[in-house]
Structure formats: C-alpha cells, structure tokens
Structure 1
Amino acid sequence: MKAVKAEAAPIARLFGFNPNRAIAWVYVWNTSELSILWLDRRVPPKFIDPPLPKGVLDQAIAVTSDEVTDLLTALSNRTTGS
C-alpha cells in the first residue's frame, strides 16, 4: 500500500542571487518525498540553505526521482552562496 502524504515540514530555503531573500521553501513529506513551495518562480535558484543531507535526498529519490529531486541534489552539492 502506498503511503499517503499527510503532513510536511520545512527543511530548507532556496535563494537566488540575493542571499537575504528566500525564493522558495523545501518541504519533506511523511512519505519522504520532497516538494518546493515557490515564493518567486521568476528568480532562478542559486543555492539552498542548509544543503540537504545525502540520506534525505536518497530517501526522496527512492520514492520518486523527478525534476524536484534533481534540482535539490544539484543545489545541495554546491557550496552555499557560490
């Protein structure tokens, strides 16, 4: 039986070129899936704070690998603010 998304918790923020203004929030669901709540979709994400731990990313990819997990993996592998 597939788990139902019941609740999510914020675990990180995405930033564009302005490190003082979050453009999105990253949430992890009780199913281990990750999702993004965009505050400003027009600004491309440059970095994530904090970077997501490999374990969190691996669990999310095991549930569903998609453009969200691809983006968050790439951002988490960058040095913050670079």
Structure 2
Amino acid sequence: MKVAKSEAAPLARLIGTDPDHTLAWVYVWNTSELSILWLDRRVPPKFIDPPLPKGVLDQAMTVTSDDVTDLLKALSERASDA
C-alpha cells in the first residue's frame, strides 16, 4: 500500500548571492519526498541553508529521483565542499 502525501515540514531554504533573500523553502513530506516552494524563480539558487543530510537525500531518492532531488543534492554537496 502506497502512503499518501499528507504533511510536510520545512527543512531548509534556498538562497542566491544575497543571504537575506530567501528564494525558496525545501520541504520534506511524510513519504520522504522533497519538494520546493518557490518564492522567487527569477534568481537561480546558489546555496542551501542548512545543507541537507545525506540520509535525507538518499531516502528521498528511493521514493523519486527527479530535478528537485538533483538540484538539492548538488547544492548540499557544494555546501559541504566549502
């Protein structure tokens, strides 16, 4: 039986070059899926605050692998390399 998405909790925010301007919020659903609530799509995200733990990304990718998880993985890896 597949679990339906019913609740989400905020995990992180996406920011561009201005750390005071939130571009989007990252949410994790009760199904472990990740989603992005965009506030400003005009500016590409440069950073994620805080970086997502590898376990959260791994779990999300078992549910679905798509552009959302690819973007969040790249931003989190960039943050951990800095």
TM range (shorter): over 0.9
| Aligned match of 1:65 | 65
TM-score (norm 2): 0.95
Residue 47 of structure 1 aligns with an amino acid whose one-letter code is F
TM-score (norm 1): 0.95
Residue ranges of structure 1 left out of the alignment (5+ in a row): none
Stretches of 4+ aligned residues off by more than 6 angstroms: none
Number of residue pairs matched by the alignment: 81
Question: What percentage of residue pairs aligned between the two structures are identical?
Answer: 77
| Aligned match of 2:28 | 28
User: Per-residue displacement from partner, 1:27-76 (whole Å, max 9, x unpaired)?
Assistant: 00000000000000111000000000000000000000000000000000
- CA RMSD for the aligned pairs? 1.1
Say which structure is richer in helix: 2
